[in-house]
Amino acid sequence: MRHLISSFLLAAALALSSAPLRAEDAPATIRLGDVGFGFGTPFGVGLQAIADAKGFIADEFKGSPTKLEFTYFTGTGPAINEALSNGQLDFASYGAVPNIIGKANGLDTVIVASYGGTTIFGAARPDVEIRSIADLKGKKVAIQKATIIHWGLISALKGAGLSEKDITIVDLKNADQLAAIAAKSVDAVFGADFLLPLEDKGLARIFYKSSDTGATGDGFGAFLVTDKFRKSYPEATQKVVNGFVKAAQWLGDEKNREEAFQIWSRAGTPVDVIRKSNAGSSLRDKYNPRLDAFFVARYKSGIAFNLEQKLIRRDVDLDAWVDRSYVDKAVASQKLEAYWPDRGTTGSVKN
């Protein structure tokens, strides 16, 4: 009897080993989070919003039961970190400063693509003589701390030979920043393109635009997946990244520029403001999804900033955090290597 049982078990094991592996079950729902703006139903102003509006990720799951849920968080980075911590998201696209904080505090995220750049603006009261970053010395500047804008201000100060000690930082959220400069309680504000209408209203003068300083001036962030989802659904993860890369390619085509601005205006920012914000910028370069040497250098500066600001207590192993395989496979399969050639640490294309 023992011999018969052993023979049966051996035969069963051999049959199982020679059978083809079953494809992974498709996830019922994939939940994607992004930073949201606007009233009512918030919307995004980056690559994920393009992928959502144009259906690039949804198209990858045609014919399957998988549904996509896009959520745009008005609470920005901290709200996304909380959602990831509570297991409410599978993918998220947001700025480097808060997602580094999340990783340092134990979130099981993995970076699978770059989400592009954020143009940072400096606006000064018209009655205060501020024409450059150097003129901020001794001035009171409003920003929202622990954001990529915060990183942008400190980086700009260093570039001008100043430090955080040379100014007084007032930590305010966006709406409060606008009220503060209108009330003349601060001398300048650092933020995104929501500051541009202040100039038209005569309430402020734009004296700084990060993209004018070169590739390293703009803010940055990443598209991340939870490690749990990646391990459970590697094929689905690849499909999501494929759609994300297709969105980046579509956005980089100049003929789609105005349509992209129309899509982003759903977040409440007028098209003419979005157009002005992106004037002179190549969207193909700005929203390059590759995780090359330039991306790594940017993220290292973000980690260093978080440590300097004591926003995190321990270092983050960037090599272990980044998984290039998905975006590299997406770029190769879509034959986009020449479209986005590898960049060096300063952002220039490698020869």
Is residue 200 included in any domain, yes or no?
Answer: yes
The neighbour count for residue 14, using CB atoms within 10 Å, is 10
136 and 105 within one domain? no
290 and 204 within one domain? no
Q: Last residue of a domain, which of 213, 243, 261?
A: 213
Is residue 164 included in any domain, yes or no?
Answer: yes
Q: Last residue of a domain, which of 183, 213, 243?
A: 213
Is residue 287 included in any domain, yes or no?
Answer: yes
Residue-level pLDDT at 344:
95
At 16, the pLDDT band (50, 70, 90 cuts) reads very low
Kindly report which listed range (32-46, 107-121, 296-310) carries the lowest average pLDDT score: 32-46
315 and 235 within one domain? yes
* Dist. CA 316–CA 318, nearest whole Å: 6
82 and 171 within one domain? no
CB 96 within 8 A of CB 148: yes
pLDDT surpassing 80 at residue 306? yes
179 and 65 within one domain? no
Residue-level pLDDT at 215:
85
135 and 262 within one domain? no
Is residue 96 included in any domain, yes or no?
Answer: yes
* Dist. CA 103–CA 286, nearest whole Å: 24
* Dist. CA 327–CA 114, nearest whole Å: 9
Domains held by the chain: number = 2
125 and 71 within one domain? no
* Dist. CA 5–CA 158, nearest whole Å: 75
Is residue 347 included in any domain, yes or no?
Answer: no
Residue 91, both tokens: 């993918």
Q: pTM of the entire structure?
A: 0.90
Burial 215-243 (b: 16+ CB within 10 A, else e): bbbbbbbbbbbbeebbeebeebbbbbbbb
Range of the domain at 197: 121-213
Query: Which residues, in sequence order, are CB contacts of 151 under 8 Å at separation 6+?
Result: 96, 97, 219, 301, 302, 305
Is residue 302 included in any domain, yes or no?
Answer: yes
Residue type, 45: V
Query: Which residues, in sequence order, are CB contacts of 48 under 8 Å at separation 6+?
Result: 32, 34, 70, 93, 115, 223, 244, 247
Phi, psi dihedrals of residue 223, rounded to the nearest 5°? -105, 120
Residue type, 66: T
What percent of the chain has pLDDT above 90?
Answer: 87
Q: In 45-166, at which residue ranges do the beta strands (DSSP E only) sit? A: 67-73, 91-95, 109-118, 121-124, 140-143
Is residue 97 included in any domain, yes or no?
Answer: yes
pLDDT digits (tens, 9 = 90+) for 202-238: 999 999 999 999 889 999 999 999 999 999 999 999 9
Residue-level pLDDT at 26:
85
253 and 200 within one domain? no
111 and 240 within one domain? yes
Q: Which of 146, 164, 111, 101 is nearest to 313 (CA)?
A: 101
SS3 state at 322: strand
287 and 305 within one domain? yes
324 and 237 within one domain? yes
Give CA angle at 201 (199, 206), nearest 5°.
10
pLDDT digits (tens, 9 = 90+) for 311-349: 999 999 999 999 999 999 999 999 999 999 999 999 998
Is residue 21 included in any domain, yes or no?
Answer: no
Q: Last residue of a domain, which of 213, 245, 277?
A: 213
**Any idea of the CA torsion for 5, 10, 15, 18, to the nearest 10 degrees?**
170
208 and 233 within one domain? no
**CATH number of 199's domain:** 3.40.190.10
Residue type, 95: G
